[in-house]
Each structure stands twice: as C-alpha cells, then as structure tokens.
Structure 1
Amino acid sequence: MNATRGDDRTEQSTVPAEPAQGVLFDDVVDTPGELGYRGPAACKAAGITYRQLDYWARTGLVEPSVRAAHGSGSQRLYGFRDILVLKVVKRLLDTGVSLQQIRVAVGALRERGIDDLAGITLMSDGASVYECTSAEDVFDLVQGGQGVFGIAVGRVWREVENDLSVLPGVDPADDAALALQDELAARRRSRQAG
C-alpha cells in the first residue's frame, strides 16, 4: 500500500501477497460472549452477496474470527471487525481496485492500532490504494491527480455499528449447543423413519 505523507514523501508498506487472516487490530481483545453474525447478516451489513462472502472466506481474504465453518451444514460466524473489513473490501472493489491490491490494503490495516483507525482515509485511483492520515495527505494526493475515490474508515465503522444494531447476532456458545441439539434431533428422526 502506498502511504502519502504531508511532507511529499511516498512510503511503501511491504505486506505479503497472501497475509494470514487474524485479528484486524492486535490491541483489541475480543470479550467473552462477543456476538457473531451468520453469513446472511454479515452480507447485509457489508453490502455484499453470499457468493462473495463464501469466496473471500475460502481464499483467506476475510475469514470469520468468531467461528469458521467445519464441514457441510456448519455456519460461519463473523465478528464486528470481520464485517468492517468486508465493507471496506466491497468499497475498494467498487472503485475497481484489484483483489491483490485489496489484500495489501487489508494487511496494512491489520498493522494499525484501533486508535489510528478512525483517522484513516483510504484513497484509490482504481489501481493503487493510498493511506491518508490527514487532510493535507488527501489534498496532496488529489492535487497530484492520483486519488479519485476515498473511504473514511471511521465512517465505515459507524455504518457497520448501525447496521448490526438491527441485525440478529448470535452468542457463539449458545449457537454451538443449539446446532448440536438440531443434529441429534435430525439423527433421531432419521432412525425412527428408517
């Protein structure tokens, strides 16, 4: 990811092309009982299709941090940060940025602390992604003719919070117990019918 600083220097961040999925922000600790969101709720909050969600999970771009799928019939559970990244990825795709560049951008965001997040604006010219941390950075980038689309990550954060406030969340511990009960009930019905 290119990061343009106010003193007209361009700094390159080197992130592996296939970064390992992990916690987006190292200094944020999940609280026990954090709500997870099933695929349809995550899709609705991020503005993506289920097909995109599934592809991004299978390719490691954005994997669910609350619970991964384990075989047929199991459901992934996405945390708040996962959905935030999904929405940022969607916006970058809408500008024409390649998935390779998006992987670099997501990797660079993971390296940042949560306190820095609200002040970041991601700018894109459709080919590259630039990280701006001040109004001067944005101005310099636009004046140089590079930036044509901006994403204020702090604003996306608030949008995701608002969207998730009306969507059904799942307590992962309760959901796992219910899934086991459903599976056992299905086996009993199958034996009784068979």
Structure 2
Amino acid sequence: MFPDELFGESPNDEVLGYRGPAACQIVGITYRQLDYWARTKLVVPSIRTATGSGSQRLYSFKDLAVLKVVKNLLDTGVSLNNIRSAVEQLRRHGVRDLAKITLFSDGVTVYECTSPEEVVDLLQGGQGVFGIAVGGAMRELSGSIAHFPAERAGAGASVVDHAQEDELASRRNRGARSAG
C-alpha cells in the first residue's frame, strides 16, 4: 500500500524525510504552524530536529501523517489540549499500525478505534461527532509527496526528487555534478 522506504524498510534501511517547507506544502499548513508545533513539542521531527540557525528539520512519513491528523483535528474545532492527547496516542503506534486507526471526537475527548467493532460500540454509546481515518490521511499523503523532493536520512544523505525534472533543472543538476 505504501512504499517500504517510507517506513525505513528499504533494502539499505534508509528512511526518506522531508524538510519543513515541503512538509508544510504536503500537509497544507503554514511554516509558522509547523515551527510552533515543533517548538512546543506537539509534533517533533523524528529524523532530524533543528539544531540552530540554518539547520533543517527533517520529517518522516509518520511525522507527516501525524501533522495531517493535527491539521484535520484543528479544522474541525478540537482544542489543542485534546489534540495533544491524540498525538500521544498516535506516537505509541508504529507507522504501519497508524493506517488501521480511526480517531473520533465528541468535541471534548478524542477516542482511538482500531476495529470496526470499536467504532460501532463508540457510536452506539452516543460518542463521536466526527471521525478521522488515519489510513485515509496517509493514502492522501503518499499521493501528495510524489511531487516533492525527499532527503535520505542515512549516512550518505542525498536529495531524492520524486517529480520529473524540467529541462532547466536537469541542466543545473548535471552542471553541479560535473563541477563537484
């Protein structure tokens, strides 16, 4: 369903990461939001944090999925306090397990459901005003990230551009490679 290198399970066990500006565009948030969430430790980049002026944060696919859920919860009016508890729940799961989770909220509490039975039980109990299928957000992200350059997190980190290069970018890259 998702490419293995998004999960750190590629043949050479390198994980792809996305810098802050790309993460913002992929998820649909502002850089100011991303920076605030990182500084307040709501969503901290798991691959590389900022270590000073000029350093670049590097966000994993799981980080992007959590950012997308945070954005969706904010858009539906859930308080930042409840979002923090939802993020804590999501952090406890591996990235593949996230795809099986649906978050529901009654506007006060965020509930985590991992099976259709739990969803039915929650709804029958009168809980849940809206739900967010984390797997749906992840599928949306996996389609979006194809248009953004990624960076390998391994020792020999390099930028991986999923998008087709235009002719000018291709010439620049060839020139840079021959000069280096």
Q: Tell me which interval the TM-score lies in, with the shorter structure as reference length.
A: 0.7 to 0.9
Give the alignment partner of residue 119 of structure 1, picking from 73, 84, 100: 100
Q: Determine the C-alpha separation between the residues in 2 that align with 1:101 and 1:109.
A: 13
1:82 paired to 2:63: yes
Distance 1:68-1:91 versus aligned 2 partners, 3 A rule: same
Aligned CA RMSD, in angstroms, stands at 2.1
Per the normalisation by structure 2, the TM-score is 0.73
Aligned-residue sequence identity (percent) comes to 64
Moved over 3 A (4+): 28-33, 113-116
Q: Is the 8 A contact 1:95 1:124 kept in 2?
A: no
Say which SS state the counterpart of residue 169 (structure 1) adopts. Answer: strand
In structure 1, stretches of 5+ residues that fail to align are 1-27, 176-194
Structure 2 residue aligned with 1:49: 30
Structure 2 residue aligned with 1:5: none
Q: Determine the C-alpha separation between the residues in 2 that align with 1:136 and 1:69.
A: 42
Distance 1:112-1:174 versus aligned 2 partners, 3 A rule: closer
CA shift at 1:129, angstroms?
0.3
1:110 paired to 2:94: no
The one-letter amino acid of 2:60's match is G
Give the alignment partner of residue 65 of structure 1, picking from 33, 46, 49: 46
The one-letter amino acid of 2:97's match is D
The one-letter amino acid of 2:26's match is A
Deviations 1:72-97, CA, capped at 9 Å, x for gaps = 12221111111111001111111222
Q: Determine the C-alpha separation between the residues in 2 that align with 1:109 and 1:43.
A: 20
Structure 2 residue aligned with 1:23: none
Q: Determine the C-alpha separation between the residues in 2 that align with 1:141 and 1:93.
A: 21
CA shift at 1:115, angstroms?
4.8
Structure 1 residue aligned with 2:126: 145
CA shift at 1:174, angstroms?
3.4
CA shift at 1:114, angstroms?
4.3
In structure 2, stretches of 5+ residues that fail to align are 1-6, 160-180
1:130 paired to 2:114: no
Q: Is the 8 A contact 2:102 2:131 kept in 1?
A: yes
Per the normalisation by structure 1, the TM-score is 0.68
Distance 1:112-1:52 versus aligned 2 partners, 3 A rule: same
Structure number with larger C-alpha Rg: 1
Deviations 1:162-182, CA, capped at 9 Å, x for gaps = 11111111234236xxxxxxx
Q: Which has the higher strand share?
A: 2
Q: Determine the C-alpha separation between the residues in 1 that align with 2:91 and 2:76.
A: 21
